[in-house]
Chains A and B, each alone.
Chain A
Amino acid sequence: MTDSGLPTSEHLEHLDTDTIADLIENLLPAPEAHRAREHVKACPDCQQTYDALVQLTEDLADEGRADIPMPTDIAEHLDAVIVSESVLRSSTVGVHSLVQLREEPRRHLPKLVLAAAGVIVIAAVGVGVVVSTADHSNEGAAGINPTLPAGEVPSMTTDQVGPNAQKWLENSNGPVLHGSSDEIQCARVFAAGRPGSELRLVQPAKVDGKRATVIGLPGGSPQDIQLSVVTGCSGSGGVATPFYDTTVTLRNR
């Protein structure tokens, strides 16, 4: 501890702050706790540290009761995401409740996929993001065929990576592995160091203007896909450097 009010290495007779904090939480073994208590009673400096730690706990509780206003841009984005979810659900003709959706997911799947593609556009508008039309010429008709030809390198912002990947994966029965063999190999090496190393998605993309690779790996549950956006995989023998990650939940797994 270097704070002038606290015990320091120059004052070895004082208890250090960790010991006093442990004393307050009853974490010290009995003999040590006894010695520490006796010391605190007799030492004004250590008593002050003790009091300050007790006070800190109360101050943190006070502070914890206060909300923190969510920044406006984040709140707007969140609203748009929730609207997207609602649109996705309500576009599913004949399905009005989560219970129905959960019980009959297969029956409603094709409609969900179509709705999902439409939702991307709504979400993008909602947050003021302009989808790049040049690289999304196929995706513009995504309501009909939300898959990408193997050779395409779509452009998107980081915010759009999750919805796009969700769409690609939900429209496929298995892993989606696009890109050159070098790029896929680079993704495999990246995946080997992760908890779930089985590749679910490799998709070359331009993300925020950078040539990148979107890599999908199994997430915490069977429906979840952990997405990483990496640079460095587009060339031969490259090494992946992640710069964005997110998780998506697939409805049809």
Chain B
Amino acid sequence: MTSDITRIGAGGPPADGLGARPAGYETMDDHELLRLHVAGNPDTFGILVKRHRDRMWAVAIRTLGEPEEAADALQEAFISAFRRADSFRGDAKVTTWLHRIVVNACLDRIRRRQVRAADPLPEDEDRAAELAGPAKDDPAEVRERRLDVLNALKQINSDQRSALVLVDMEGYSIEEAAAILGCAPGTVKSRCARGRARLLPLLRHWQTTRGGSDVPAKTAAESVGTE
């Protein structure tokens, strides 16, 4: 478990100045785009969205499971970011800030959904294949694996799923995830542990196909040998 979430910070090439034409925006870094947006530029926020939407879509669809919900959450998140961009503190990464807004929008939707537990989400099986992304973009095994994870995540409860996505998949520390989820660190650890136990039988074929169990990362004896 690591608190390193630098992988969401794609960033961009260095800024090339304020007077750049629209085509030049593509080469600006995230901070510069956001600064221009706050100053009134009508185009730069859209470029930020395009730059990071696949990353944010991954977070939303893994956390929420349903494309319609994920799309709504992302829309809320990006509008919120658009309007509150002037509250962004320049010492953080733009992607870290954006990521947090997206996570919060997703969790808000889960909480609202839980309030009306008698209102089950519709299954949207028609879109299942689409969730794995356009066929031309990735090799078949990558798409298949992606779908396996999305389908498995949908089968565990939303508390466990949120904790697992934040900690195991997005790389937040237990403490950061606890702050985001508004619960104790021990609760996050417990949800992660139970979530992994639920996911294991659903994803075990990964490890058989990879021969994972033949080459364990570390043995229990090595890992738990001291008390």
A interface, CB within 8 angstroms of B: 1-3, 5-6, 17-18, 20-27, 30, 33-34, 37, 40-41, 46-61, 63-72, 74-75, 77-79, 81-83, 85-87, 89-90, 95-99, 102, 193-195, 220, 226, 242, 245-247, 249
Contact = CB atoms under 8 A, between A and B. Distances in A.
B22 interface: no
Given A52-B207, A63-B146, A86-B42, A195 B58 contact: no
B135 to A, nearest CB: 10
Interface of B: 1, 7, 37-40, 42-43, 45-46, 49-50, 53-55, 57-58, 61-62, 67, 71-72, 74-76, 78-80, 82-86, 108, 112, 115-116, 119, 127, 130-134, 137-138, 142, 145-146, 149, 164-165, 168-171, 186, 189-190, 192-194, 196-197, 199-201, 203-204, 206-207, 212-213, 216-221, 223-225, 227
Contacts of B82: 82, 85
A51 B217 contact: yes
From DSSP, what is the main secondary structure of chain A's interface residues?
helix
A67 B58 contact: yes
Contact of A86 (B43, B50, B194, B217): B43
Contacts, number: 214
B67 A86 contact: no
B219 A47 contact: yes
A78 B74 contact: yes
Contact of B86 (A26, A99, A242): A99
A41 B203 CA distance: 24
23 contacts: A1-B201, A21-B193, A22-B193, A24-B193, A25-B190, A25-B192, A37-B224, A41-B221, A51-B213, A51-B218, A51-B220, A53-B197, A60-B169, A64-B165, A65-B7, A69-B57, A81-B79, A86-B46, A87-B42, A98-B38, A98-B85, A99-B86, A245-B112
